[in-house]
Structures are given as C-alpha cells and as structure tokens.
A = this chain, B = another copy of it.
Amino acid sequence: MRAADVGDPIMGRLVMQYGAIRAVEAIRARTLPPEFVAQEIKRAQEAHQNRPPDLTARVNAWHARLAAANPAADLENGQGSGARLVIPGSPEWPTQLDQLGAGRPLGLWLHGTADLRFSCLKSVAVVGARAATSYGTHIAAEFGVGLGESGWTVVSGGAHGVDGAAHRGALAADAPTVVVLACGVDICYPASHEVLFAAVRDRGVVVSECPPGVHPTRARFLIRNRLIAALSRGTVVVEAALRSGALNTAAHALSLNRHLAAVPGPVTSGMSAGCHKLLRDRKAVCVTSPEEMIDLVGVIGDDLASQSRAPAVPRDKLNEPTRKVLDAIPTRGGAGPASIAVAAGLSLDATLSALGGLAAAGYIERTTNGWRLRKQLASYPKAPDSAALEPPPSPESDASDDPPFPDDDFPHGPEQHGWH
C-alpha cells in the first residue's frame, strides 16, 4: 500500500470491512464485494447530490498501483534500515488513531528508541510555517522546552521553521519528541535535518505511514497532517500565513474534536495572519505560553496552569476608607484634614485616623501646607500600566480594580475586569 491509497476513504473502508488481504485480492481481481459497492453508492448518494463515485476508475487506479507495490521488499528494506512496522492491535499502536475511522492508517513505520503509544499519551502537536519568522521559531522552541520539561511530548512534522524549532526545544529539555514524516522513515527530508532526525531517533521516534523509499509529494504532506493532529491531545499553531499547511492540520484537529490553540503575534506580520484568523473565528483558543497550552489539554486538577495575574501593590492591602483618604490627598502643595475629609467623603474622625496610618506607613507626609503624597516612594512599585489611571506625578499611580463607584453598586464582579 502507498500513502495515497491509505488516504482514500473508500479503500480505507474496504480494508476495515474485509481486511487488507481480502481488499488487495478484490482489487487484484478488479472486483469489489457487491454489498460494499451498494453501500458505497448509497453513502455517496446521501453525501452529494446523488453523484455516485466512479468505483471502477478507483479499482483500476488501485490495481495499477498494486502492480507497482512490493510489500515483501518494503518489509526487508524497512527492517534493514532499522525501522519497525506497527499495525492496529500491536502493543505500540496509538489507539487514538482509530478515531480517524476510514482514514486510519493501515500501519505505521517507526524508527527510534521511544515507544510511540506511550510517548503520545501526553502529547501536543506544535505546528506552523516552514518560512517562520525569528519570532515564530523563538516561540516554537519555547513551547518545545516548556512542554518537554512538563512531561509532554511534542509531535510535529520535522520541517524547517516552526516544526524543527519545536523538536529541538523538546530535545533540549531532554524529552522525547515525535517526527511524523510525509516520506519513508529512511528518507531524510528536508536533507538538512539529518542531524536533528538522528537525535530524534535517539531520544524519540520518527513516524511515517509510507513504506521505506517513498518520497514526499503534495498529497502525502496533506495526508500526513491528519496523523499529527490525531496523535496529539491538542494542536497549537505557532505561526501560519493565511494559506498554510498548518491550517490544514488545525482543520483536522477540529474535525477530530481535539483542542486547537493559536499563538498570537504582531498584526503587522503576515506569518501570524492565519493564527489571528483562527482566533477571530473562535476556532482556536489564544495561548501565550506552554503552561497555558498544558492548561488547555491537561487533566483538570493535574496540569492546571496558574492564572496570569496583575502584580499586587501595597495599596491593595489598605482598607476602603484609608484608600479613599489616600486618593483624596493632593500630589502637589498640600491639604488640611478638613478638605481631605470633604474630598474623601468621610467624617473628620475617620479621616484623621486614616491620615495617621498612612503617615506611619510612609505613604504621605506632613508639610507646612498640610498633607501631601510622598515623592519617590521606593517601597511603592508602579504597576506595568500605571499611567493609564493617574496623573504621573503621583507615586500612587498603579491602575487598580477599585470600582468607579462603591463596590456594592459596581455593575459587575471583579471577574469582569479581566485580570482575575
């Protein structure tokens, strides 16, 4: 069997129903089991406007290919090159591939030390553009390292750009990684990845459904992509142009109901346009780190990532009246307790006690003109986006989730703020 046949669902169904041997015999005899033909025509009629598939042409095509196929030689070459063949039912067979139904491969050629089934129990497909930018390869390597260090296997296509960077990142974390090729496992494509593939065989495994000696073609790259998606719990697209093979892998992940994630990038980069399209269409979840990807595909309570949180600032620890007083104290000049009480909307007593506390804590200082904020408060870190909320001169200038009006009347919980 050649990959192109495996990709043909009619052939796939024939094999699943009658077994590879009987399927081959049927094709050799240029016949198909009548009940299968009837079923196929019914299926085709349901699927598309009563247009039955030309089964005779298919049989002839398969027959021509069968004539060229030589399974015995394939096995010999494979074993000679150090590869092994696994088929459904083998202990090393990754059963998640069965979800491909008629598209399930008849077998997989493996070359490497790692056990494919075990390696893929916790695996993520990291895919993206071959013509990736330095941003894309940087992020892919970060994901490779992060996933590897957390015990997750990186599955990818071994291509230039994102694929290669992800594999290298995983190897750098001394984690197994899985390369799924569109050619025979004995063929090094791209040729410049000879060293990389050797390292993968050493620590992980190189996979292909093509027998040894088969060279890559457009069809095989597209057929290969379904395996990358089907082997992994989820797929993350690191960089992809609007027209990209990575989006084909993403489509497979969706059709298999696997998790799909995309890494955002600059909107000025065409290489992120495909990722942004997936996000805009809400097909993919936005992930910005390996932890977030593990959070997505991981088991709840087991692999949850910590929420990205805003930095806390000392002000958060103040109680509300004290905060009100602090907000009411001018940054320039100074103000007396009475006017501060008016501005804060508090009684004079409450204001005076708050002033004492704030002075003791070093937030404010007393001058001849009254109270004012202390400048250059070393103990007073600015939040990243301090500026958006406060006049610059104030050291008390972090944005804050203080509601614009009293908490009890805020239209929605803090969750709505987007930083919880």
Contact = CB atoms under 8 A, between A and B. Distances in A.
Interface of A: 4, 7-10, 44, 47-48, 51, 53, 57-58, 60-62, 64-65, 67-68, 102-103, 128-131, 135, 138-139, 157, 159-161, 189-190, 215-219, 221-223, 225-226, 240-248, 250-252, 254-255, 263-268, 270-274, 276-283, 285-289, 292, 308-311, 327-328, 341-343, 345-347, 383-392, 396, 398-406, 408-409, 411-412, 416-419
Contact of A243 (B215, B289, B398): B398
Nearest to A10: B409
Among all A-B residue pairs, the 9 with the closest Cβ atoms:
A130-B387, A243-B310, A264-B264, A245-B388, A61-B345, A241-B384, A241-B385, A244-B385, A222-B404
Contact of A418 (B251, B327, B345): B251
Contacts of A226: 404
Contacts of A64: 341-342, 345
B405 A44 contact: no
B308 A244 contact: no
B190 A392 contact: yes
Contacts of A265: 264-267
Contacts of A405: 7-9, 103, 223
Nearest to A350: B57
A226 B392 CA distance: 21
7 contacts: A4-B343, A8-B405, A64-B342, A135-B268, A222-B403, A241-B399, A243-B310
A385 B160 contact: no
Contacts of A58: 345
Contact of A404 (B219, B264, B276, B287): B219
A228 B402 CA distance: 17
A417 to B, nearest CB: 5
B289 A285 contact: no
Contact of A402 (B218, B266, B387, B418): B218
A347 B418 contact: no
A137 to B, nearest CB: 13
A276 B288 contact: yes
Contacts of A270: 384
Contacts of A216: 390-391
A270 B383 CA distance: 11
Nearest to A163: B388
A135 B68 CA distance: 57
B383 A241 contact: yes
B412 A255 contact: yes
A254 B412 contact: yes
A145 B400 CA distance: 31
Contact of A248 (B135, B217, B404): B404
A189 B411 CA distance: 28
Nearest to A330: B215
A362 B226 CA distance: 32
A244 B287 contact: no
Given A310-B242, A385-B129, A419-B247, A404 B7 contact: yes
B218 A387 contact: no
A62 B346 CA distance: 10
Contacts of A47: 408-409
Given A44-B408, A243-B385, A263-B267, 5 more contacts: A131-B386, A218-B390, A222-B402, A241-B383, A264-B264
